[in-house]
């Protein structure tokens, strides 16, 4: 990583960790549990993929991780330092260590600022660089993400979707972050542009050894960039493990269903019958037992109706929150 503050906390510990994090909203009489008692950590240099349907809370979790939103419960630790315990004034200088790449690049770039201004902002906030130094660094960053110097004077609406997203990435990199959280960075892009931006991200991953969280509903993309994959459902983690393992040998019924639903080139028709019942329920209901019960097509046991399964490690760092999965291996 680049030079800058070198205040390493734990050399071996996780880079970022969210502990028992929850985010509740009050909606009239109901409480919406966008994120519910979730614990997750990302190791140094690792890319963790986070998947789930819309409404599962992954964007909320992303914002909590970047301290852009305060959790109702739980802590966020960066290299061992509890960020949630800090006051806003103390937090501010540390903010650049956790950077987010947003889903909609048009919304995440100020329409009244040029690309140069947008990318220079983190440098200016950090201070300590001359105007020339800032300008040079901006040019360097634009080059890293594959934008030409000519683009520096354009406004966001003059750029294509892919270019805008690259600006977002450049801005995040300008912060010399410890962790980058990419919230559906490819979602609003065309297929061929997705591949271009994906390559930028992959190159950065290789060259800089970035620690990253890659959020997407697109399982194919996630499986290509992640070392580990976490699957979220209704604000909780239902499966977590090495990317290969989760994709090739999914243990949770939800993961299985998601994977089965992904259309694959070369897979012969007919369409496989969908393994998921119904539409995703709202986060308002919380009947007793496993939260996934209502949509699970597998044969359900007593336990499924009574208790919500905890995330338990089955083997090789592969954890599942499912009563059935735990029984299978015994």
Partner 1 sequence: MAQSLADRRPNGEMAAARLGTMRLLLGNRVALASAVLLIAFVAMGVFAPWLAPYDPNRQHPEAIRTAPAWQSDGNRDFVLGTDGLGRDLLSRIIYGARVSIALGVVVVLLTMVVGSGLGLLAGYFGGWLDAVLSRVADTLLAFPFLVLALAVMAATGPNLIALVLALAFKGWVDFYRVSRGDVLAARHADYVTAARGLGASTPHLLFREILPNVVPPIIVLAALRMATVIIAEASLSFLGIGVPPSIPAWGTMVADGRADIAAAWWIATFPGLAILVLVLSVNLLGEGLRDALDPRMSL
Partner 2 sequence: MEPPLLEVAGLRTRFDTYRGPLVAADRVSFELRQGEALALVGESGCGKSVTATSIMRLVRRPGLISDGIVRFRGEDLLRLPEPAMRRLRGRRIAMIFQDPLSSLNPALTVGAQIIESLRVHGIARGREARERAVKLLTAVGIPGPRERLRSYPHQLSGGMRQRVAIAIAVSCSPELIIADEPTTALDVALQARIMELLASLREERRLSIILITHDLALIGQFCDRVAVMYAGRIVEYAAVEQLLARPLHPYTEGLLKCIPRLGRPDIPVTPIEGVVPDLVSPPPGCRFAPRCPYVMARCEQREPPDYRLPGGRLARCYLREEGSEGAPWPPEKRG
Residues that bind partner 2 (CB under 8 A): 53-54, 160, 162, 190-196, 198-199, 217-221, 223-224, 243-244, 247-248, 257-267, 269-271, 273-274, 276, 278-280
Torsion of CA 271, 272, 273, 276, to 10 degrees: -110
70 binds partner 1, rule: CB under 8 A: no
| Of residues 175 and 276, the one with the C-beta less far from partner 1 | 175
- CB 295, CB 276: distance < 8 Å: yes
Sole binder of partner 1 in the list 10, 90, 158, 282 (CB under 8 A): 158
Residues in the chain: 330
* Distance of closest approach, residue 330 Cβ to partner 1, in angstroms: 46
The entry of partner 2, partner 1, none that residue 8 binds, CB within 5 to 8 Å by partner kind: none
| Of residues 96 and 216, the one with the C-beta less far from partner 1 | 96
| Dihedral sign, Cα of residue 53, residue 206, residue 189, residue 260 | negative
Query: 106 — phi, psi (to 5°)?
Result: -70, -35
Site string for partner 1, 15-54 (x = CB under 8 A): ----------------------------------------
The entry of partner 1, partner 2, none that residue 127 binds, CB within 5 to 8 Å by partner kind: none
Q: Give the count of beta carbons closer than 10 Å to the beta carbon of residue 190.
A: 12
| Of residues 10 and 158, the one with the C-beta less far from partner 1 | 158
Sole binder of partner 1 in the list 96, 194, 211, 283 (CB under 8 A): 96
- Give me the residue label for tokens 């109706």: 305
What distance in Å separates the CA atoms of residue 294 and residue 315, rounded to the nearest whole number?
A: 27
110 binds partner 1, rule: CB under 8 A: yes
154 binds partner 1, rule: CB under 8 A: yes
- Give me the residue label for tokens 């519910």: 36
81 binds partner 1, rule: CB under 8 A: no
CA distances from 277 to 30, 274, 282, 293, 323 (A): 25, 8, 14, 10, 19
Query: Partners of 78 in the beta sheet?
Result: 16, 81
Report helix, strand or coil for 56: coil
Stretch touching partner 1 by CB under 8 A, among 18-26, 90-98, 224-232, 247-255: 90-98
| Of residues 137 and 244, the one with the C-beta less far from partner 2 | 244
Residues of span 282-311 touching partner 1 by CB under 8 A: none
Can you read off the two tokens belonging to residue 161? Answer: 């979707």
Report helix, strand or coil for 211: strand
What distance in Å separates the CA atoms of residue 296 and residue 16, rounded to the nearest whole number?
A: 32
Query: Partners of 32 in the beta sheet?
Result: 25
60 binds partner 1, rule: CB under 8 A: no
Q: Is 293 left (phi over 0), alpha (psi -120 to 50) or beta?
A: alpha
Can you read off the two tokens belonging to residue 7? Answer: 């205040």
Sole binder of partner 1 in the list 2, 28, 29, 112 (CB under 8 A): 112
* Distance of closest approach, residue 327 Cβ to partner 2, in angstroms: 25
Sole binder of partner 1 in the list 9, 20, 153, 272 (CB under 8 A): 153
Which residues are at the interface with partner 1 (CB under 8 A)?
63, 66-68, 92-96, 98-100, 102, 104, 107-114, 121-122, 125-126, 149-150, 152-155, 157-158, 168, 171, 175
């Amino acid at each position: 990583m680049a030079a800058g503050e070198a205040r390493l906390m734990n050399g071996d510990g996780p880079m970022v960790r969210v502990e028992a994090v929850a985010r509740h909203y009050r909606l009239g009489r109901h409480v919406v549990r966008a994120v519910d008692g979730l614990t997750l950590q990302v190791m140094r240099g690792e890319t963790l993929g986070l998947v789930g349907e819309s409404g599962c809370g992954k964007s909320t979790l992303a914002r909590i991780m970047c301290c852009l939103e305060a959790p109702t419960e739980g802590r966020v630790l960066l290299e061992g330092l509890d960020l949630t315990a800090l006051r806003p004034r103390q937090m501010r200088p540390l903010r650049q260590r956790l950077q987010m790449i947003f889903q909609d690049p048009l919304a995440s770039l100020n329409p009244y600022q040029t690309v140069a201004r947008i990318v220079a902002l983190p440098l200016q906030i950090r201070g300590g660089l001359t105007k020339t130094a800032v300008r040079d660094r901006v040019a360097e960053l634009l080059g890293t993400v594959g934008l030409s110097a000519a683009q520096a004077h354009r406004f966001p609406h003059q750029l294509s979707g892919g270019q805008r997203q690259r600006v977002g990435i450049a801005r995040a990199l300008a912060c010399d972050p410890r962790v980058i959280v990419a919230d559906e960075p490819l979602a609003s892009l065309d297929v061929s542009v997705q591949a271009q931006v994906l390559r930028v991200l992959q190159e950065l991953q290789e060259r800089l050894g970035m620690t990253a969280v890659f959020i997407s509903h697109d399982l194919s993309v996630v499986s290509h960039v992640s070392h580990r994959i976490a699957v979220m459902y209704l604000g909780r983690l239902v499966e977590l493990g090495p990317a290969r393992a989760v994709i090739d040998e999914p243990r949770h019924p939800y993961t299985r269903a998601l994977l089965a639903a992904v259309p694959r080139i070369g897979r012969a028709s007919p369409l496989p019958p969908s393994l998921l019942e119904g539409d995703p329920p709202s986060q308002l209901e919380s009947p007793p037992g496993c939260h996934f019960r209502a949509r699970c097509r597998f044969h359900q046991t007593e336990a499924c109706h009574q208790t919500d399964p905890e995330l338990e490690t089955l083997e090789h760092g592969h954890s599942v929150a499912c009563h059935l999965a735990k029984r299978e291996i015994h």
